[in-house]
Amino acid sequence: MPIVENVMFGLSSLALLSQIGIALLGLLYIGTKIGIQPCNTWYERICTILSSNTVAFAFVVVLVAMLGSLFFEHVAGWDPCTLCWWQRIFMYPQVFILGVALYLKRKDVFQYTILLSSIGGIIALYHWWLQLSKVLFPAAPTSVCSLSGPSCAFTPTMTFGYITIPMLALTAFCLTIVSFLIHRKIKTEYT
């Protein structure tokens, strides 16, 4: 099914670019701490832009994650396993929390989204590790997610050698956390 492959490749490309962005932001942050002047300038610019649009950015991230998971379930026909459902439990409410915050022009929702994203991110990381360990060690016992419902032990797709659906979720959770941490940092520094 070419549309499923195209969507998976598109989402995986966004995840890869997001992961590179998070890594570069981390390097710029380290550069500011050791006194590299260009890092200060770029880091401040990026943080200022991101901080002024945090809720909108985070809303788009979680909305794409939610729509992507629904696409994989209802169009691609990939039934979510138990761990996929747990990740959804921590992703889907954020669409509504951030949507209402965006509508009401409120930026004080970071506590909720950081908590939800942290728990969901831990589940996604564990889920991804189960998938990766099954690829690296095929003779290993079946993963936890195969005990109830469909199994993700044999991933339907692995883009760029490591990106699976749980890695997409983990990237979305990390983007949400990083954006709100930057917002909180900027807010405390300049108020």
Grouping H, G, I as helix, E, B as strand and the rest as coil, residue 163 is strand
Half-sphere exposure in the Cβ direction for 31 (13 Å, CA): 15
CA angle 183, 185, 189 (to 5 degrees): 120
CA dist., res. 82 & res. 169, Å (int): 14
Buried b (16+ CB within 10 A) or exposed e, 73-102: eeebebebbbbbebbbebbbbbbebbeebb
| Global pTM value | 0.87
How do the pLDDT tens digits run along the chain, 191 residues long?
A: 588 889 989 999 999 999 999 998 888 888 777 877 776 787 788 878 877 888 999 999 999 999 999 998 898 888 888 889 999 999 999 999 999 999 998 878 888 999 999 999 999 999 888 888 776 666 666 555 554 556 565 555 678 888 989 999 999 999 999 988 887 776 666 54
